[in-house]
Structure 1
Amino acid sequence: MSEETKNRADMSFLEHLEVLRWHLVRSSIAVLVFMIGIFSFKSFVFDEIILAQKSSSFWTYELFCKISHWLGKGDALCMEDISFSLINITMSGQFTMHLVVSLIGGLILGFPYILFEIWRFIAPALEAKERKYARGLVFSGSFLFALGILFGYYLISPLSVQFLGNYKVSDLVENQISLSSFISTVTTITLACGLVFQLPLIVYFLAKVGLVTPEFMRKFRKHAIVVVLILSAIITPPDISSQVLMAIPLLILYEFSIFIAKRVIKNQ
């Protein structure tokens, strides 16, 4: 047992909370630094990232159009020009959205460091071999989170914007979407995808403490499929294509998580 582990074992509950507080403080500072950086590049962040999905020249829309032509379907998969306009209806609306986007961006960019601080907090309680595996989880969790963010931003979110922005109950009704509603849709879907891609990491820790086994996950695979479909319906807009696109990677991640749980049990 290392000296650091012995010292941690001798700590009281309040002393553990004090250690945790400083990990949270450092994580908050990292998020704040990224938030300030994002806040400073307002034009790039909004014009090139957040509001880019409103343009028919967005990368995803052009890719779908190229695939359509490659399959000989003409313009069948080409996205229409999004006809809605964005409006701001409150005095502080644009400034508030600027802060919200900066905060979410700070959380996304600071996520790897937050995982690193979590690892630093739990590392003293782990054995040397466990610490080696846990160190790799910082990279794995960051990679899965980035993969989920890219998946949400480049696939689920633009399809949601395309569907909801062009949907009309009647030609007599024009879509004028509030800025807050548009940004909320894009950021919520993107961030949610990043978080749900942490499933293998969550299963790893649950398997380590004995709450999940591969046999348990195989037994309730059918139930998991239902939960995945419900979760996909909550995250995505009410069109079947987005729900299917969201459900497929989640089911793949579930199967991969079974493999992770199997490895954990085998190592133990």
Structure 2
Amino acid sequence: MTDTTKEQEQPLISHLVELRQRLMRAVLAVFLVFLGLFYFANDLYLFMSAPLTALLPEGTSMIATDVTSPFFAPFKLTLVAAVVLAMPYILHQIWSFIAPGLYANEKQFAIPLLVSSIVLFYAGIAFAYFVVFPLIFGFFTSVGPENVAVMTDISSYLNFVLKLFFAFGITFEIPVATLLLIKSGAVTAKNLAAKRAYVVVVCFVFGMLLTPPDVISQSLLAVPMWLLFELGLFMSRFITSKTVVEDEAE
């Protein structure tokens, strides 16, 4: 083995070691947050189920059809909550790993983009909980037959809300994705604006695929997707103008 080969392998090994360390830190952060939340697992589930339980008919409640559900449903929710709460630290570890390989102008653009991604993801979850859930649960609990008692299984409810949380959290990243596409030069803001009609159709298609099969939840996802796309286009004007000024200066 030549000295050149050894020199090439050494940085690779050091990068792998650093990646392992940062992944371990991220896992440890999730574990510590999970330990802090686990004592309140049942209270956390009560908070998560409040949008539905507040609308259930008097004398009814949620049920557990599986023997293990009373334990594993709050456990699963607490684990997901730990990952979500630890996400800023996890992204910080990812950023610390890739930052040394970026140029100064890329770092200047990436930092606010990273912060915006975190804020928008949390905003999507909050929008789903405070706006979407009361509307769709109010609709579902009011349209059933009179002789059918609404008593939702706690595991089914958890899977339902986690799916919507993920859908709305990802959806609220659309402005960031739009800015990245324009910044990378893959597409221009003018071209995206010209394809606005197609974007609206795609929003409703994704709303159909990512939400339950009802018009209300599909529309509540598709309309914000379109508005967030418009927000990304609006913000891209400032990035585009700044890039043009930099290119002219060079």
Specify the TM-score bucket, using the shorter chain as the normaliser.
0.7 to 0.9
Instruction: Summarize the Cα distance change of 1:260–1:83 in structure 2 as closer, same or farther, 3 Å threshold.
Output: farther
**Which residue of the partner structure matches residue 247 of structure 2?**
none
Between 240-249 and 121-130, report the one with greater CA deviation. 240-249
> Structure 1: how far apart are the matches of 2:142 and 2:83?
30
Instruction: Summarize the Cα distance change of 1:211–1:23 in structure 2 as closer, same or farther, 3 Å threshold.
Output: farther
TM-score, normalised relative to structure 2: 0.80
Deviations 1:105-162 (A, max 9, x none): 1122112222222322221122223212212223211211121111011111232222
Once the two structures are TM-superposed, the CA of residue 259 in structure 1 deviates from its matched residue by: 3.2
Greater share of helix residues, 1 or 2?
Answer: 2
> Structure 1: how far apart are the matches of 2:118 and 2:93?
13
Instruction: Summarize the Cα distance change of 1:86–1:266 in structure 2 as closer, same or farther, 3 Å threshold.
Output: same
> Structure 2: how far apart are the matches of 1:207 and 1:10?
36
> Contact 2:175/2:229 (CA < 8 Å) preserved in 1?
yes
**Which residue of the partner structure matches residue 5 of structure 2?**
none
Percent identical pairs in the alignment equals 30
Unaligned runs of 5+ residues in structure 2 are: 1-7, 244-250
**Which residue of the partner structure matches residue 110 of structure 2?**
134
Match for 1:50 among 39, 48, 51?
48
- Figure out how many residues of one structure are paired with residues of the other and give that number: 236
- The answer on 1:220 being equivalent to 2:218 is no
Once the two structures are TM-superposed, the CA of residue 215 in structure 1 deviates from its matched residue by: 2.9
Deviations 1:181-220 (A, max 9, x none): 1111222212321221112222333334333331332232
Once the two structures are TM-superposed, the CA of residue 226 in structure 1 deviates from its matched residue by: 0.9
> Contact 1:200/1:256 (CA < 8 Å) preserved in 2?
yes
**Which residue of the partner structure matches residue 204 of structure 2?**
229
**Which residue of the partner structure matches residue 248 of structure 1?**
223
Instruction: Summarize the Cα distance change of 1:89–1:240 in structure 2 as closer, same or farther, 3 Å threshold.
Output: closer
SS of 1:90's equivalent in the other structure is coil
> Structure 1: how far apart are the matches of 2:186 and 2:196?
16
CA RMSD of aligned residues (A): 2.8
Unaligned runs of 5+ residues in structure 1 are: 1-8, 57-78
SS of 2:62's equivalent in the other structure is strand
- The answer on 1:195 being equivalent to 2:193 is no
